[in-house]
Structure 1
Amino acid sequence: MRRRTFLQGTTAAMIVGAVPKLAFGQDNTITFGGSVPMTGAAAETGQNVLQGYQCAVNFINEEMGGVEIGGQNYQLALNLFDDASDPARATTLIQRQVDEGINFFLGSFGSNIVLPTCAITEAAGRIMVQAGGGSDLIFTQGRKRVFGIFPRASRQFVSSVNMFTGLDPVVKTVSIIYTNDAFSKFQAEGARANLEEAGIEVLDYIGLPAEVSDVSNVLTSVRENTPDVLVCTTHDQTSILIARQMVSSDTNVPMLYQTLGPQTSAFRDALGNYANGIVTQAYWSERAPFSGDYFGSAADFAEYFRANFDRELTYHMASGAVCIVAYIEAARRAGSLDVDAVRDALSAIDFECFYGHVRFTEDGDGDASLLGPLLIQRQEGEMEVIAPLDGASAEPIYPAPTWEERA
C-alpha cells in the first residue's frame, strides 16, 4: 500500500477555520462540520480523533470512490476548526456553522465541549455523531439528534468489574480518584455503584478539582489505606500527574487503573518504563475480531491508518473513523440526505464493522452491551488487551511490579 502522510489541516478533505458555504450534500459533496481541540489541554487526544475523521474520509473517497446514496454518488469533505479546548470558542463557531447551513456535525473531544455544542445542534434540528463526550448529561436531557459511539459514563465500568472479580488474587478493595468535571464524576459514580454491587469495598472516594497541579495529600491517604486497585477517572494530563507523583513518592498499589491517559503516546513519553503495568480502557483494538464493509477487519483499519498517517495509533482514531462510517451507513440505508431520515436511520442502526457491533440506545449513547470498553495494559512497551478473556491478547500482570522494579 502506498504511503501518504496527512498532516493537520493539509488534506484536501480538511478545511480548518473556514466557515462552510456548502450544506450537507450540495454539489455531490457531503460536508461534515464541527470542531476538534487541535491545541490546548485536550490537544493530544483531539488530534487522535481528528486523524480518525480524516482517515475515514480519505478511505471512502479514495479507496471506495465515494458513497452512493439514493442513486447518486457523493464525495466526503470535512470542515472542522480548532476549538483550542475552549467551550466558549467552540459554541460560537458551531453556531456560525449552523447559521451557514451545515446539517451534519462531528463532535469535539471532552464532554465539557460536546455538551454545550450538541445543545446548539439539537436546538437547530441538526445531527451530531461524536466520540468525545460520554457525560450522562449529554444523553439524559431528552435529546434525539445526538449520538455517541461510547456508552454514557455511568455505564462504562461493567467490564472492569468483571475483570476484577476474575483476577487471582481476587480484588477485594478499590479506591477511586476522580476529577469534578462533566464526564469523570459520572464515570466515578458508575464505577462505585458497579463495584459495590459486586461486593468490592470502596475504601476512598476522592474528588479533585477539574484543574489540579498537586495530588500529594491524596497519595498520602492511598499509602495509609492501600487498595488492591486504585481507579482514576481522570483526563490525560491529570493521569500523568498522578502517576508521576506516585512514582516520586513511592506510592505502590497492586494495580493502577486510569481510564484516560495511558492510551496516548504523551503518557508513554512522560512515564517511560513506569508506564508498564498500568491498566486503562480502550474501546477498540486492532487485535479484536471485528470486520465489515468499511476498511475490512480491525487489523485492516490499522494497516490503512499506518500507511497514511504518522501518529501512533490509539482507539481514538478508530472511534473517530466510525463516526463517519455510522453517518454514511445510515444515509445509505435511508436512501436520502434528508436530516430527519438520516436521524431515524441512525437511531435504528445495527451493523458490524471494523470497530465492532454498532448500535445506539434510545437515548443516543453507545449500547453498553456491545460498545463497552476493553481493558488494556502496557506490557514491555506494548498495549495488550487483558479483558474480556475472549478477546485478550495477554494475561494481566497483577500484582504489578513496584515502581523501583520498573525503573
Structure 2
Amino acid sequence: GKHLGRMSNRTMSPTATAALVALVSIFCSPCSRLVSATTGVTRGTIVIERGVDSGKLTATLDATEFADDQQADECTFDGGIVSLSHPMSLKAGDKFFSTGQLQHDAISMMIDEVNTSPRCGIEVGGKKYGLKLTTYGDDSSKAKVAAIVENGMVPAIGGDDAAANFWLGPYSSGLTGAMSTYANSTNAIVVAGGAASTSVFKGYPTIFGTFPPTAFYLAQAIEALAGAGAKTVASLWEEASFTRGVCAALPTLAEQHDLVLQSQTEVPSSPTGEHLDPIASNFSSPANDPDVVVTCVYDQGCAEWIASLRRSGWTPRGQVFTVCIGMDQFVENVGTDAMYMMGISPWDASLAMADDVVGWSAAEFAERFVATTARTPTYHSASAAASVGVLIQAIERANSFDSDAVASVLSTEEFTTLYGRLSFNENGQSKAPSLFLQYDQNITVQTVYPLETRSGDLVYPMPTWEHRDCSLLSTCETGSEFTSSGQCQEDGACLCDSEDAISSGIGPNATCVVIPNEDMTYIDSALKVLGIV
C-alpha cells in the first residue's frame, strides 16, 4: 500500500510553496524479482520519497488563511525537479540501522532546508530547481544494494521525468562498494557520506566520499597516545571492509611512532562475547598487557568489547574505537563505562565555519539535529549532510547537470560545509584529517588532539575499572556516618584521609573504617575495687 503524509509542521503559503511531502511505499510482488532468496534480505523494499509541491496542495486556500510572515515562504521552481536517490538501512533489525538513521535524518534536514525559503532549491542556468530525495531500504545487504541499483529502482542518468538525477551513498564501505561499479558504468555522480575504503572510489572518476580514507583514520590517535607515553599497542577488527581498512593502517603508524605492535586479531561480523572474551583474557595476561587497544568494530561491537573487558577484569591504558564515540546508543548501552573511552572522528560540533548552502554552523546543525530527532549528531550525521551540500555547490558552480562538468568541479575545488572545508584527493576521497576524541568524567565528548583544536585534555592512562567503581559506587571519596573519606587509587582501594581510619575493600566496596583511639590509661572499675581490697 501507499501512505501519503506531510513532513512539515508549519502551514504553507498558498502559491508556489515548498510543501514537504513523504511518500512511503512497501512494494511486495512487483519487487520479488529483485533479490534472490538470500538470508537476511527481504523481497519487498521500503521506498521513502521526500520532496516539494509546486503549490497545488494549498492552491485552494485563501491568502487570508496565513499570517503575514508565512507569505515569504513562497518558492517557484521554474526549472523543475532534480532527483537525489540512495539506499539506506531503514529497518530496526538492519545491522547499520542506528548509523543509517543518523545519516538519513541529516540528509532529510538538508533537503528540507534547501527546498524552502529563503534558498528555494538550487539554481542552474538562471532557473530554480527543487530537490526530490528517494531513499530505498537496503536491509544492510550488499546483494540488496546491487539489486536496487541494477534493476533501476534508483534512477540512472536520464531516467524518470526529473530534470537531472544524482546519487548519494548508503552507510558503510561495503554497501557503497556494491553500487560503485554500476554507478561508474552509467557515468552517474555519487557523493557518498558513509564510506571510507579506497577501493570504493579508486578508478571511478564520478564517485566521491566525504569520509577520509581508512588509512588516515588512526593517525591523530596514535600520534597523541605515543606522545603521552604509550609503548605497546594491539588491535582487533570486525570482518568488514571499513573496519579492516582502518586497523590495517596500524602497523605503519606504530612503526612511525616507535610503538610495538603486539598483536592483530580479526573477529567475525557482529562479534559477541563468545568471540571477544578470549581476546580480552589474552590481553590481560602480564605477558601481553598492551598499553593501547584499537578496536575497529561497528556500534554493536563496542558494547560487546567493553563487556568482555569487564569480565576479564583488565583495563587497557588507552581504548580506541572507530565508530562509537559520540553515539547516544553507545552511552545507553554501556553507561558510565563510556568514561575516558577514546575514538576518532572527522568532525566536531565546535568547528567554526558556516555551510555555504544552508548557512548552518557545525554547532547550529547539532542543535537543529537534536531538536529534530532527539538524538545527538555524530560525524556520520555531519558527513551525510555535507554529501548533499558539496553536491549542490558543485552543480551550481558547474552551472550544469552534466556529470563530467560536475565531477570536474568536485575533483578540483574546495567546499565549505558544516562538516568542515572539503576537497578530494586523486581517488575522490576527503583530504580532511580526523580528530582524536575522548569522553571526559561527565561522559561529554572532548576533542583532545590535535592540540590546536582541542576542547579538553587527554586522560592517559585512563582509570582502571576498579578505580572507576571505587569513585562511582563506593563511599570512599564521600565518607558516611560510620566511615571516613579518602581517595580512590588505581587498584580500587581507598587511601584514607584520616590516620584513625583503615582502608577496607576495593572497587564498589572500598571504604575507610574509623578505629577509635584506645585509652591506654583506662582501668576498669571492677579492677579498681579489687585493688583496694
Note whether the superposition's TM-score is higher than 0.5: yes
SS at the partner of 1:357? strand
Is the alpha carbon distance of 1:164 and 1:4 closer, same or farther for their aligned partners in structure 2, counting shifts above 3 Å? farther
Is the alpha carbon distance of 1:337 and 1:267 closer, same or farther for their aligned partners in structure 2, counting shifts above 3 Å? same
User: Is 1:346 matched up with 2:346?
Assistant: no
Taking the TM superposition and a 5 Å limit, the aligned residue runs for 1:92-111 are 92-95=147-150, 96=152, 97-98=154-155, 100-101=159-160, 103-111=165-173
* C-alpha separation in 1, matches of 2:155 and 2:113: 27
User: Match for residue 479 of structure 2?
Assistant: none
User: Cα offset for 1:154?
Assistant: 1.6
* C-alpha separation in 1, matches of 2:20 and 2:90: 15
SS at the partner of 2:445? strand
User: Is 1:289 matched up with 2:352?
Assistant: yes
Is the alpha carbon distance of 1:14 and 1:205 closer, same or farther for their aligned partners in structure 2, counting shifts above 3 Å? farther
Is the alpha carbon distance of 1:182 and 1:391 closer, same or farther for their aligned partners in structure 2, counting shifts above 3 Å? same
Conservation of the 8 A alpha-carbon contact between 2:79 and 2:127:
no
Conservation of the 8 A alpha-carbon contact between 1:4 and 1:308:
no
* C-alpha separation in 2, matches of 1:5 and 1:372: 38
Gaps of 5+ in 2: 1-6, 11-18, 26-45, 52-76, 470-533
Q: Which has the higher Rg, Structure 1 or Structure 2?
A: 2
User: Is 1:197 matched up with 2:249?
Assistant: no
Of the structure 1 ranges 54-63 and 292-301, higher mean CA displacement relative to structure 2 is found in: 292-301
User: Cα offset for 1:396?
Assistant: 1.2
Is the alpha carbon distance of 1:155 and 1:282 closer, same or farther for their aligned partners in structure 2, counting shifts above 3 Å? closer
* C-alpha separation in 1, matches of 2:78 and 2:306: 49
* C-alpha separation in 2, matches of 1:222 and 1:156: 23
Return the match for 2:142 from 80, 87, 97: 87
Number of equivalenced pairs: 393
User: Cα offset for 1:256?
Assistant: 0.8
Of the structure 1 ranges 216-225 and 64-73, higher mean CA displacement relative to structure 2 is found in: 64-73
User: Cα offset for 1:365?
Assistant: 0.8
User: Match for residue 122 of structure 2?
Assistant: 67
* C-alpha separation in 1, matches of 2:331 and 2:450: 24
* C-alpha separation in 1, matches of 2:213 and 2:78: 34
Taking the TM superposition and a 5 Å limit, the aligned residue runs for 1:90-239 are 90-95=145-150, 96=152, 97-98=154-155, 100-101=159-160, 103-140=165-202, 142-167=203-228, 170-213=229-272, 214=274, 215-224=276-285, 225-239=288-302
* C-alpha separation in 2, matches of 1:385 and 1:4: 35
Conservation of the 8 A alpha-carbon contact between 1:136 and 1:183:
no
User: Is 1:329 matched up with 2:393?
Assistant: yes
Q: Which amino acid aligns with 2:87?
A: S
User: Is 1:242 matched up with 2:297?
Assistant: no
Of the structure 1 ranges 98-107 and 128-137, higher mean CA displacement relative to structure 2 is found in: 98-107
Structure with higher helix content:
1
SS at the partner of 2:337? helix
* C-alpha separation in 2, matches of 1:158 and 1:325: 27
User: Match for residue 53 of structure 1?
Assistant: 107
Conservation of the 8 A alpha-carbon contact between 1:14 and 1:78:
no
* C-alpha separation in 2, matches of 1:173 and 1:5: 54
Is the alpha carbon distance of 1:405 and 1:38 closer, same or farther for their aligned partners in structure 2, counting shifts above 3 Å? farther
The structure, 1 or 2, with the larger RCO (C-alpha pairs under 8 Å, 6+ apart) is 1
User: CA-to-partner distance for each residue in 1:327-362, whole Å, 9 max, x for gaps?
Assistant: 000001000112221121111121223211100001
Is the alpha carbon distance of 1:11 and 1:45 closer, same or farther for their aligned partners in structure 2, counting shifts above 3 Å? farther
User: Match for residue 57 of structure 2?
Assistant: none
User: Match for residue 386 of structure 1?
Assistant: 448
* C-alpha separation in 1, matches of 2:381 and 2:284: 36
SS at the partner of 1:329? helix
* C-alpha separation in 1, matches of 2:22 and 2:241: 32
Conservation of the 8 A alpha-carbon contact between 1:374 and 1:387:
yes
User: CA-to-partner distance for each residue in 1:159-197, whole Å, 9 max, x for gaps?
Assistant: 222212332xx1111111112321111211112211212
Conservation of the 8 A alpha-carbon contact between 1:37 and 1:46:
yes
SS at the partner of 2:129? strand
User: Cα offset for 1:98?
Assistant: 4.0
User: Match for residue 330 of structure 2?
Assistant: 267
Conservation of the 8 A alpha-carbon contact between 1:13 and 1:78:
no
* C-alpha separation in 1, matches of 2:222 and 2:23: 41
Q: CA RMSD, aligned part only?
A: 2.4
User: CA-to-partner distance for each residue in 1:100-151, whole Å, 9 max, x for gaps?
Assistant: 45731111111111111111111111011112111121133x1111101112
Q: Which amino acid aligns with 1:362?
A: E
* C-alpha separation in 1, matches of 2:108 and 2:435: 24
User: CA-to-partner distance for each residue in 1:39-78, whole Å, 9 max, x for gaps?
Assistant: 2011010100111111111121225222222211122221
Is the alpha carbon distance of 1:277 and 1:405 closer, same or farther for their aligned partners in structure 2, counting shifts above 3 Å? same
Is the alpha carbon distance of 1:26 and 1:208 closer, same or farther for their aligned partners in structure 2, counting shifts above 3 Å? farther
Of the structure 1 ranges 89-98 and 306-315, higher mean CA displacement relative to structure 2 is found in: 306-315
Return the match for 1:29 from 74, 81, 89: 81
Conservation of the 8 A alpha-carbon contact between 1:15 and 1:79:
no
Conservation of the 8 A alpha-carbon contact between 2:277 and 2:311:
no
Conservation of the 8 A alpha-carbon contact between 1:15 and 1:78:
no
Gaps of 5+ in 1: none
Conservation of the 8 A alpha-carbon contact between 1:159 and 1:387:
yes
User: Cα offset for 1:81?
Assistant: 1.4
* C-alpha separation in 2, matches of 1:295 and 1:191: 38
Q: Which amino acid aligns with 1:114?
A: T
Conservation of the 8 A alpha-carbon contact between 1:139 and 1:152:
no
Is the alpha carbon distance of 1:150 and 1:341 closer, same or farther for their aligned partners in structure 2, counting shifts above 3 Å? same
* C-alpha separation in 2, matches of 1:49 and 1:281: 18
